[in-house]
Amino acid sequence: MTEPVVDMRGISVEFPGVKALQGVDFRLFPGEVHALMGENGAGKSTLIKALTGVHKPTGLIRLRGEEVSFHGPGQAQDAGISTVYQEVNLCGNLTVAENILLGREPRRFGRIDGRATRRRAAELLERMGLAIDPGSVLADHPIAVQQLVAIARAVAVECQVLILDEPTSSLDAGEVAELFRIMRVLRDEGVAILFVSHFLEQVYEISDRMTVLRNGRLVGEYRTAELSRLDLVSAMLGRELSVLEELEQQTHPVDERAVLLRATGLGRKGAVEPFDLEVRAGEVVGLAGLLGSGRTELARLLFGADKADSGTLEFDGKPLHLRGPRQAISAGIGFCSEDRKAEGLVADLSVRDNLVLALQASRGWTRPLSKRTKDELVEKYVAMLDIRPATPDTPIRNLSGGNQQKVLLARWLVTKPKLLVLDEPTRGIDVGAKAQIQKLVAELAAEGVAVVFISAELEEVVRVSDRVVVLRDRRKVAELRGTDVDEVMAHIAGGRAAA
């Protein structure tokens, strides 16, 4: 093979109390897609940030054979390394076009050429297959679109190295295909691409080689074609994966239990058309549909995060008027939002405080929890969800993306809700933890908790749900019991396939 563009040797990164990386070697060659694999907290994002100068690592980094040490992401960018970091890192207050070209706007006589900026942004958006107005404000778009915009920003400059840290976590199948098409074009032009994803399918589809990390150490470098999935998973976990098999048929028969939640004609203009929905205690109802089909919007109505403008809601036999999440919480409804950065977690608080927050809120501030109870609770959930590092005093923002997601989930579990609405609870979570969460959902249901489960992965929805509600174009189009992926797909495609 040719010379590597990026050659990292003996990279170590240490945070107070955590050795995030220890002596990791990593090579990236021109014209390859290289997948960086590992469990949540294995150190993938940290390795990326060590390369781009966000963190200061010890060890040696060579770029095109020359030793480099970047003092910030700006310098790495100038040296030809374009990065999309794991959490969408754009400014929601600016327009799409501004975000794409921020810091490298076309200028005429030293001043920004607004027209050229929009034109250039429009070209890039078109290339990504995104039909949105470049002059629109970024925050008005759903996360998937924001993620695509972040990618458009990364490919807006000529780069030799393109780094994508979990770019597909909120994209639907069509968008992923489009992204992969672009990645292949770039790869064939000789760009070296570093790709992180927890979707094994995607990794096998797109990558040429992979590097596996475990607990901050290098496990090995492999050719994708020569590594079986099972070997990959055991390389990542360091053990055989038994939970996954156990889970195959989790669906449990729901006896005719009491209806816990009944929505009649519930709807909101521009979000979801009026729908009827019943959820029984101990039942898992899956919501399936494409991005933007209204599945998140439906969930938000059930929690009062958005106000319904038609229909009624009945909970536990009594009518429930939701003016906001507060009524929902005190009635016993929990909601794990898809946008953990904006809505779920308080980044500066510790794992412990985040866990206790929701519980304390539901008890009211006048009845404080004793320290003992808190510690016990926190310990229990940290162990149950395998949150790492298992030190409850770590601030959330220092946790890896997947572990943040687990804390968010734990936060609601702590309150022992009667109904739990989970919007993409397994996004950005590794295979092992994903199986754990699915299992947890099944266990909750067995204990009598009703669960509304949303996920972009149909296999997952079908596997955990007793009933699957399919949404299309902001409308509930089907309700399926004991279904399979093909049937759900057919309903999702529905009108479109016929048209």
Partner 1 sequence: MATLSVSKVPSRHLPVVATFALFVLTFGAGSVSFENFASGQVFANLFIDNAHLIVLAVGMTFVILTGGIDLSVGSVLALSTMIAAAGVKAGWPVPLVIVVVLLTGSVLGLLMGLMIHKFDVQPFIVTLAGMFLARGLCFVISIESISIKDKGYRALGMDRIALGGGVSITNNVLIAVAVLLAAMYVLHLTRFGRTVYALGGSEPSARLMGLKVGFTKVGVYVVSGFCSSLAGLVFSFYTASGYGLHAVGMELEAIAAVVIGGTLLAGGSGYVLGSVVGALVLGTIQTIISFDGTLNSWWTKIVIGALLLAFIVLHRLIVRRSSA
Ligand X SMILES: Nc1ncnc2c1ncn2[C@@H]1O[C@H](COP(=O)(O)OP(=O)(O)OP(=O)(O)O)[C@@H](O)[C@H]1O
Q: The tokens of 190 are what?
A: 């000789």
Taking CB under 6 A as the rule, does residue 53 contact ligand X?
no
Taking CB under 6 A as the rule, does residue 401 contact ligand X?
yes
List 103, 253, 317, 364, residue binding partner 1 (CB under 8 A): 103
Q: Tell me the window of 36-44, 77-85, 101-109, 139-147 that interacts with Mg ion (CB under 5 A).
A: 36-44
List 4, 32, 35, 46, residue binding ligand X (CB under 6 A): 46
Q: The tokens of 284 are what?
A: 């898992």
Least Å from the CB of residue 147 to partner 1: 13
d(CA 230, CA 190): 31
List 99, 403, 415, 426, residue binding ligand X (CB under 6 A): 403
Taking CB under 5 A as the rule, does residue 405 contact Mg ion?
no
The footprint of partner 1 on residues 274-313 (CB under 8 A) is 306
List 3, 126, 140, 379, residue binding partner 1 (CB under 8 A): 140
Taking CB under 5 A as the rule, does residue 45 contact Mg ion?
yes
Query: Which one, 37 or 125, has the nearer CB to Mg ion?
Result: 37
Residue with tokens 């470049």, as numbered in its chain: 134
| C-alpha closest to that of 355 among 399, 297, 303, 296 | 399
Taking CB under 6 A as the rule, does residue 168 contact ligand X?
no
Taking CB under 6 A as the rule, does residue 125 contact ligand X?
no
- The secondary structure element, H or E, covering residue 471 is strand 467-472
Taking CB under 5 A as the rule, does residue 401 contact Mg ion?
yes
With b meaning 16 or more CB within 10 Å and e meaning fewer, what string describes 64-95? eeeebebeebeebbebbbbbbbbbbebeeeeb
d(CA 419, CA 187): 46
Strand ranges (E), 166-320: 192-196, 209-214, 217-223, 259-268, 272-280, 284-288, 310-315, 318-319
Instruction: Print the binding letters for residues 425-464 with ligand X: x by CB under 6 A, - otherwise.
Output: -----x----------------------------------
The runs of H, that is alpha helices, within 128-281 are 143-154, 173-188, 200-206, 229-237, 243-246
Query: Which one, 46 or 465, has the nearer CB to ligand X?
Result: 46
List 25, 31, 62, 75, residue binding partner 1 (CB under 8 A): 75
If one counts every other C-beta atom within 10 angstroms of the C-beta of residue 365, the result is 7
Strand ranges (E), 89-137: 107-108, 111-112
| C-alpha closest to that of 354 among 396, 390, 302, 308 | 396
d(CA 352, CA 373): 12
From partner 1, ligand X, Mg ion, none, which one binds at residue 73 (CB under 5 to 8 Å depending on kind)? partner 1
List 52, 86, 117, 404, residue binding Mg ion (CB under 5 A): 86
Kindly list the residues in this chain that would bind partner 1 in the complex (CB under 8 A): 54, 72-78, 83, 85, 89-94, 98, 102-103, 105, 107, 110-112, 114, 137, 139-140, 153, 306
Kindly list the residues in this chain that would bind ligand X in the complex (CB under 6 A): 15, 18, 20, 38, 40-46, 86, 388-389, 398-403, 430
